[in-house]
A = this chain, B = another copy of it.
């Protein structure tokens, strides 16, 4: 199995090195990652300018390729030929701070995995709750568990798995839960300031968003000490609205 590993925090992020190490136990690993941080960058396809690809080193010194494109560009470039060998799976992470709920479309980590699903290979995004000050050991362990199962079982086309790991030691993990996306509670606030010339500028600030720990959700799994595994699909169609909308007689 040939696993493409990427992230949205950049090629030198410790979470990327931890993920690549864990994946090497399961197969051959190629890392193609951004040369700088792309957090909250969403799903990007860079077409208006050329992209560079250069050799780089992970935080542990292992070989990698770095690009000046977004996380999803890294995956697209790999499939378009920057990585000449066939890729069997895409794994993205390990992102510090969970990527949960119905706003994962902001997440460079999840959108990099989605680019793998668009390329029709199984894809997994991995994030750890909080700032990962306790390290990436638990998330790397959980990623290996999930990825080895995906390798055995496969995933339907155009789907991916979004894995979020609690910030506890491996021995304290309660288990794995298959979850649905919960609802975010935003706490963004606008900071307005004046620059040295008196011209106003704005900064999107406020506290980090939390979420509703409703039963069955990603938020509830983490709150209860479980690893959350959420299957996502590329098809955003709200099927339950098709019939009601047909009665609108547009």
- Which residues of A are at the interface with B, using a C-beta cutoff of 8 A? 37, 39-53, 70, 72-73, 76-77, 80-82, 102-106, 111, 114, 118, 145-146, 149, 153, 155-156, 158-159, 161, 175-176, 178, 180-181, 183-184, 186, 188-190, 192-193, 199-205, 227, 229-239, 241-242, 245-246, 248, 250
In the complex the two chains form, is B178's CB within 8 Å of A52's CB? no
Please report the C-alpha to C-alpha distance between residue A70 and residue B105 in the assembled complex, in whole angstroms. Answer: 14
Across-interface contacts of A114 in B (CB, < 8 A): 105
In the complex the two chains form, is B76's CB within 8 Å of A178's CB? no
- Chain B residue at smallest Cβ distance from A193: B50
Q: Given A105-B42, A106-B45, does the pair A237, B180 have CB atoms closer than 8 Å?
A: yes
In the complex the two chains form, is A203's CB within 8 Å of B51's CB? yes
Min CB distance, A60 to chain B, in Å?
A: 26
Q: List 13 A-B contacts (CB under 8 A).
A: A39-B48, A42-B44, A45-B106, A47-B205, A49-B203, A50-B202, A76-B188, A80-B190, A118-B184, A149-B250, A156-B238, A178-B246, A232-B236
Which of A42, A51, A153 lies at the interface centre, i.e. has the most chain B CB atoms within 10 A of its CB?
A42
In the complex the two chains form, is B181's CB within 8 Å of A235's CB? yes
Across-interface contacts of A237 in B (CB, < 8 A): 180-181, 230-233
Q: A76-B204, A178-B242, A180-B237 are in contact. List 8 more A-B contacts (CB 8 A).
A: A42-B43, A43-B111, A49-B203, A50-B203, A51-B202, A73-B204, A229-B250, A233-B238
Across-interface contacts of A204 in B (CB, < 8 A): 45-47, 51, 73, 76-77, 80
Min CB distance, A246 to chain B, in Å?
A: 5
In the complex the two chains form, is B203's CB within 8 Å of A106's CB? no
Q: Given A82-B190, A153-B248, does the pair A77, B202 have CB atoms closer than 8 Å?
A: yes
Please report the C-alpha to C-alpha distance between residue A77 and residue B229 in the assembled complex, in whole angstroms. Answer: 32
In the complex the two chains form, is B236's CB within 8 Å of A52's CB? no
- Chain B residue at smallest Cβ distance from A149: B248
Please report the C-alpha to C-alpha distance between residue A51 and residue B238 in the assembled complex, in whole angstroms. Answer: 33
Please report the C-alpha to C-alpha distance between residue A227 and residue B241 in the assembled complex, in whole angstroms. Answer: 17
In the complex the two chains form, is A80's CB within 8 Å of B189's CB? yes
Across-interface contacts of A229 in B (CB, < 8 A): 245, 250
Please report the C-alpha to C-alpha distance between residue A83 and residue B158 in the assembled complex, in whole angstroms. Answer: 38
